[in-house]
C-alpha cells in the first residue's frame, strides 16, 4: 500500500510505501480488545480506600454492659452497624493493571493501524514545522488538510515545542510521539496525521 504525502498546505509531495504487513480482516480482533482493556485498566488510580473495624480510631471499650439495660448487645464503637464505624468489604488500594504480551500488543497495533489505513483515515505530511506557536496558524493548517472537523491525532517523530503550543488549545486535537503510540490512541480519533519521519519510524517498529 502507498500513501500520498502532502505539505502543510495540502499539496502533494510524493508517495510513501507502507512496508509492514497489513493484518487481514477478521484476524487480530481479540488482540485489539485485550490491549485496549489493559490500557484503560492501567489508567485507573486504584486509590479508593475505606476503614475496617480495626482501622477506625477509637477505644476498644464495650459501650455498655451485656445485660440489664434493655438495649441490644453491643461490643464495639467501631461496629459496621454504627454511624462512624468500620466498613464491611469496602474498597482497598489495588493495582488494576493487566499483563499483555509484547507480541499481542504489536499485533493489536498493526491490526488497528491496518483498519485505519484501509478506511482512508491516515494522512502523512512532509513535516510539521511551524513558523510560530500560534493556534490560529495551526487551525489554518488543519483546514488546508481538510481535517478541521472532528478529532485528530498528530503523530510526530519527536516533540516539537511550536506544534505542542499551537495544537493544545484546539478541542479534539491531541499530539503524541511515534515511539509511544498505542492501539487505544489509534482507534480513538477520527483522523491520524503522521509526519513522514514519524510514519517511517512506526513502519520500522511494526516490521
Radius of gyration of the chain (CA): 27
Q: Which cell goes with 95? A: 493495582
pTM: 0.82
Residue among 61, 91, 173 at smallest CA distance from 128 = 173
Spatial distance between the Cα atoms of 44 and 130, rounded to a whole number of angstroms: 36
Q: Quick: pLDDT tens for 50-71.
A: 999 999 998 889 999 999 999 9
Q: Quick: pLDDT tens for 118-141.
A: 999 999 998 888 888 899 988 888
The pLDDT-based confidence of 160 (bands split at 50, 70, 90) is confident
**Of 39-43, 126-130, 148-152, 171-175, which has the strongest mean pLDDT?**
39-43
What DSSP line would sit under 85-134, residue for residue? ---TT------------HHHHHHHHHHHHHHHHHTT-EEEES----SS--
Domains and their CATH numbers in the chain: 2-44+100-206 (3.40.1370.10), 45-95 (no CATH)
Spatial distance between the Cα atoms of 81 and 73, rounded to a whole number of angstroms: 12
Do residues 100 and 35 touch, judged by C-beta distance below 8 A? yes
Do residues 122 and 161 touch, judged by C-beta distance below 8 A? no
Amino acid at each position: 500500500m502507498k500513501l500520498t504525502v502532502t505539505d502543510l498546505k495540502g499539496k502533494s509531495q510524493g508517495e510513501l510505501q507502507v512496508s509492514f504487513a497489513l493484518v487481514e480482516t477478521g484476524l487480530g480482533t481479540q488482540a485489539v480488545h485485550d490491549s485496549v482493556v489493559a490500557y484503560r485498566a492501567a489508567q485507573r488510580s486504584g486509590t479508593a480506600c475505606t476503614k475496617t473495624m480495626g482501622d477506625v480510631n477509637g477505644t476498644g471499650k464495650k459501650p455498655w454492659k451485656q445485660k440489664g439495660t434493655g438495649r441490644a448487645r453491643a461490643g464495639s464503637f467501631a461496629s459496621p452497624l454504627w454511624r462512624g464505624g468500620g466498613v464491611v468489604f469496602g474498597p482497598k488500594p489495588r493495582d488494576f493493571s493487566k499483563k499483555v504480551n509484547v507480541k499481542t500488543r504489536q499485533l493489536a497495533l498493526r491490526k488497528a493501524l491496518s483498519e485505519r489505513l484501509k478506511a482512508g483515515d491516515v494522512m502523512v505530511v512532509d513535516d510539521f514545522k511551524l513558523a510560530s506557536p500560534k493556534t490560529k496558524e495551526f487551525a489554518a493548517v488543519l483546514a488546508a488538510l481538510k481535517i478541521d472537523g472532528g478529532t485528530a491525532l498528530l503523530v510526530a517523530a519527536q516533540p516539537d515545542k511550536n506544534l505542542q503550543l499551537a495544537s493544545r488549545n484546539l478541542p479534539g486535537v491531541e499530539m503524541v510521539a511515534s515511539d509511544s503510540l498505542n492501539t487505544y490512541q489509534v482507534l480513538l480519533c477520527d483522523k491520524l496525521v503522521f509526519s513522514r519521519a514519524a510514519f517511517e519510524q512506526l513502519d520500522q517498529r511494526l516490521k
